[in-house]
Amino acid sequence: MWASCFLLGVRLVLFQAASSCWGQEDVNSMLAPQAGRVMALGEWEERWQEDRIGFHQPQVHKMLETNIEKVLAGRTAVRFFFPLCGKAVDMKWLADEGHSVVGVEISEKAIKQFFEENNMTYSEEPVPAIPGAKVYKSSEKNISLYQCDLFNFSSSIEGQFGAIWDRGSLVAINPRDRKKYAALITSLMANDCRYLLDSLLYNPELYKGPPFFVPDEQVHNLFGSSCDIELLQSVDALTERQRAWGLDYLTENVYLITLKSTSVL
Ligand SMILES: C[S@@+](CC[C@H](N)C(=O)[O-])C[C@H]1O[C@@H](n2cnc3c(N)ncnc32)[C@H](O)[C@@H]1O
Ligand SMILES: *[C@@H]1O[C@H](CO)[C@@H](O)[C@H](O)[C@H]1NC(C)=O
Ligand SMILES: *[C@@H]1O[C@H](CO)[C@@H](O)[C@H](O)[C@H]1NC(C)=O
Ligand SMILES: *[C@@H]1O[C@H](CO)[C@@H](O)[C@H](O)[C@H]1NC(C)=O
């Protein structure tokens, strides 16, 4: 650890790279204010029932639009996975471009609204492998949305994916579940998978979340052993909505994460 950090420190002047060598204690102290925060699945459902869904955006997400070429890398008909998909219009946008989409979302209301608001008809079937789960399939587009806890989903259900769009997902699951989340997400990545991750940086002393704060160091700790991680974009995302939460800064980071082609030593 010391030796590799020293070497990295010497070879790379980039703060980003060097920061992946920060000690676990430093990362833990950054995460401490939100470490114990737990949002029950029922609380998400309540938000949908009460239309408290300020995270939803009526337009295709800017960061997806801006980086789509890097995600596709020349490929057509890519299989996209949307963890914690909500009713993201991005799913329709990609399906309209000939890609297929599989999403997972706990709220049935969110799934039905997605199809209804996009004027799609859909079928509804149980998922034998996941007790209690249902899958909603668009009749017109290649979109299948699983209504279940994400942690009940696995590659045995729909195989692996060529791309993942993670917006409002890593930042929305409970902080204590992040390791489990990273293991699940990497298990869903096909060898050529290009995983676009949108994460948020802010002062976690000022707001309890969700969305939760996910520092760059943790993105590296979670995915760095099996993946290459490239920071594509870092933008100031503070708006009145987050000012009202008490935040004084908000940075939105977008990463492109790919499986390492060969394991390191
Ligand atoms: C912050 S929203 C983001 C939705 C969507 N990705 C977007 O960008 O609009 C998080 C969504 O995940 C759902 N959710 C939260 N925890 C979940 C879980 N463990 N399994 C499945 N869905 C979950 C919530 O109902 C909510 O719709
Ligand atoms: C769905 O249909 C309604 C009524 O025809 C229309 O106003 C709306 O724009 C359509 N929505 C989409 C996303 O195409
Ligand atoms: C949906 O996508 C899958 C995987 O890309 C493909 O095999 C299938 O033919 C597509 N179906 C339609 C109706 O486009
Ligand atoms: C679903 O997930 C919950 C909690 O993660 C777990 O207790 C349960 O056994 C899972 N069920 C299935 C069918 O995988």
CA 203 to chain centre: 20
pLDDT score, position 124: 98
pTM, 2 dp: 0.91
The long-range contacts involving 135-138, CB below 8 angstroms and separated by at least 24 positions, are: 136/111, 136/112, 138/95
SS3 percent helix, strand, coil of the chain, rounded to 5, is 35, 25, 40
Which residues of the chain carry a pLDDT beneath 70?
Answer: 1-22, 262-265
Q: How far is the CA of 260 from the centre of ligand 4 (A)?
A: 30
Q: 88 CB less than 6 Å from ligand 1?
A: yes
- Neighbouring-strand partners of residue 145: 103, 136
- Could you tell me the domains of the chain? 38-259 (3.40.50.150)
Residue nearest to atom 2 of ligand 3 (CA): 100
CA–CA distance, 62 with 71 (Å, rounded to integer): 14
- The pLDDT value given to residue 11: 37
Q: Answer whether 79 contacts ligand 3 (Cβ < 6 A).
A: yes
